[in-house]
């Protein structure tokens, strides 16, 4: 089983942004040295959640030059916010720069505030996303002499005459990893031989204390589709190798008691940041076109912790992850910088990296040379 790092820190003020960028660069560098397989980043705008994620492709390109062994992924790109031409161009550039070590998670987005900043209504996000992905496939396939591709999708307009440059490195293009929650998303990944994100909840309840029940259900559906799609064995193996289960917050300490105490400190700070952002979320949801229909539990509840957190001593974390390994999950994505990135939060994140590398990862994988 692979282990990857999810850079998901928050900045609470503009004057904190620069230090956050430097700290996350150091954190990613430490992760590579400790044997982690990949760095994943989100795609967010305006609210201080990963300010560098306003263009994660740019930050990933910078890190790729420093960390050539690493794979890079996105969890996830909010497809409606990206013009399909720029979406395809950025993916192709990073696909080339990483020699194909790239996985692009895709979704329709979760935050009305971000949607209205790009001229998209939240209620239209799913349709704009599906149309953008269809346009992206046409752009990847277009030759110079093929007919022009017309783009007229929500706020995205254009007419492409020649081709996308540069060309992609990966055959077809870099894999687009959906969340395998909807049948259509799971099938898209399976039929293309792509990995998928496996969720630990079933809407409308975004949380709970029985995550494995949901993981097993969604993974089983995806795996059956993948194995029934007629791919060569190596295609199936690679897709399963990177099929990902995500923990928004991973925290490891020497004892379970220490880990729980430190986790609660992390989550209190995280929840404070969420509540500070609530005023702006409310402004974005002031009309029916941008109103959310689901709500995430408070981060200090057992429902949120049970779904989104992995914590404890190394021995407890190993025991927790063994069923996921037995199920066939290929990649564990670890949010190690959740919440505002203070000096103390960074220390705790680095502590988690160290203990995962030294005491947890050896139970699941053979360390690959740097």
Please state, in angstroms and rounded to a whole number, the distance separating the CA atoms of residues 218 and 41.
23
Name the burial class of residue 79, with classes exposed (0-12), middle (13-18) and buried (19+) by CB atoms within 10 angstroms of its CB.
Answer: buried
Q: Residue 195: what pLDDT?
A: 98
Q: Cα-flanking dihedrals φ and ψ of residue 324, to 5°?
A: -70, -40
Output the pLDDT for position 204.
85
Query: What's the distance, CA 331 to chain centroid?
Result: 12
**Would you say residue 46 has pLDDT above 60?**
yes
| CA–CA gap between residue 9 and residue 221 (Å, rounded) | 32
Per DSSP, the three-state class of 249 is: strand
Give the closest residue to 284 by CA, choosing from 94, 112, 55, 58: 112
Strands (E), the chain: 2-6, 9-10, 38-41, 71-78, 102-107, 149-153, 156-160, 176-177, 244-247, 249-252, 309-312, 331-335, 339-340
Residue 295, pLDDT above cutoff 90: no
Residue 257 pLDDT: 98
Residue 311, classed as helix, strand or coil, is strand
CA 152 from centre of chain: 28
**Beta bridge partners of residue 40, listed in sequence order:** 6, 73
Mean pLDDT of the region 110-118? 91
For domain 1-36+178-369, give the CATH number: 3.20.20
d(CA 105, CA 52): 17
Is the per-residue pLDDT at 370 higher than 60?
no
Q: How far is CA 2 from CA 82, 177, 307, in A?
A: 30, 16, 20
- Highest-pLDDT range among 244-258, 280-294, 356-370: 244-258
Check if the beta carbon of residue 324 is closer than 8 Å to that of residue 278. Answer: no
Specify the pLDDT at position 276.
87
Residues 65, 174: Cα–Cα separation, whole Å: 18
pLDDT digits (tens, 9 = 90+) for 3-32: 999 999 999 999 999 999 999 999 999 999
Q: Are strands 249-252 and 309-312 parallel, antiparallel or unpaired?
A: parallel
Q: How far apart are CA 115 and CA 294, in angstroms?
A: 16
Q: Locate the domains of the chain by residue range.
A: 1-36+178-369, 67-174
pLDDT grade for 325, boundaries at 50, 70 and 90: very high
Contact 138, 164 (CB under 8 A): no
* pLDDT > 50? residue 304: yes
Least confident of 106-110, 127-131, 299-303: 106-110
Residue with tokens 């950025």: 90
pLDDT at residue 174 above 90? yes
């Amino acid at each position: 089983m692979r282990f990857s790092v999810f850079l998901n820190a928050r900045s609470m003020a503009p004057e904190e942004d620069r230090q956050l960028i430097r700290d996350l660069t150091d954190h990613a560098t430490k992760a590579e040295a400790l044997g982690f397989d990949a760095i994943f980043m989100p795609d967010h705008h305006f609210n201080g959640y990963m300010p560098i994620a306003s263009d994660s492709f740019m930050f990933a390109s910078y890190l790729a030059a420093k960390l050539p062994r690493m794979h890079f992924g996105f969890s996830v790109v909010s497809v409606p916010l990206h013009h399909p031409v720029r979406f395809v161009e950025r993916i192709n550039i990073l696909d080339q720069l990483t020699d194909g070590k790239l996985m692009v998670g895709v979704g329709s987005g979760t935050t009305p505030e971000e949607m209205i900043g790009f001229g998209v209504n939240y209620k239209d996000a799913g349709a704009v996303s599906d149309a953008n992905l269809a346009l992206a496939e046409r752009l990847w396939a277009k030759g110079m002499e093929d007919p022009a591709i017309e783009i007229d999708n929500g706020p995205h307009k254009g007419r492409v005459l020649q081709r996308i440059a540069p060309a992609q490195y990966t055959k077809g293009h870099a894999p687009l990893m959906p969340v395998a929650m909807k049948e259509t998303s799971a099938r898209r990944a399976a039929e293309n031989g792509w990995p998928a994100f496996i969720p630990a909840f079933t809407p409308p309840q975004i949380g709970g204390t029985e995550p494995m029940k949901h993981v097993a259900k969604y993974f089983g559906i995806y795996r059956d589709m993948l194995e029934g799609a007629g791919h060569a064995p190596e295609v199936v193996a690679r897709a399963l190798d990177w099929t990902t289960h995500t923990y928004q917050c991973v925290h490891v300490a020497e004892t379970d008691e220490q880990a729980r105490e430190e986790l609660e400190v992390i989550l209190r700070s995280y929840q404070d940041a969420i509540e500070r952002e609530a005023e702006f979320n409310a402004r974005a949801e002031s009309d029916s076109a941008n109103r959310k229909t689901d709500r995430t539990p408070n981060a200090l509840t057992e429902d949120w912790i049970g779904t989104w957190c992995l914590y404890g001593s190394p021995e407890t974390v190993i025991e927790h992850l063994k069923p996921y390994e037995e199920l066939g999950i290929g990649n564990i994505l670890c949010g190690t910088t959740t919440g505002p990135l203070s000096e103390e939060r960074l220390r705790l994140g680095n502590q988690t990296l160290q203990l995962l590398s030294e005491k947890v990862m050896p139970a699941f994988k053979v360390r690959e040379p740097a």
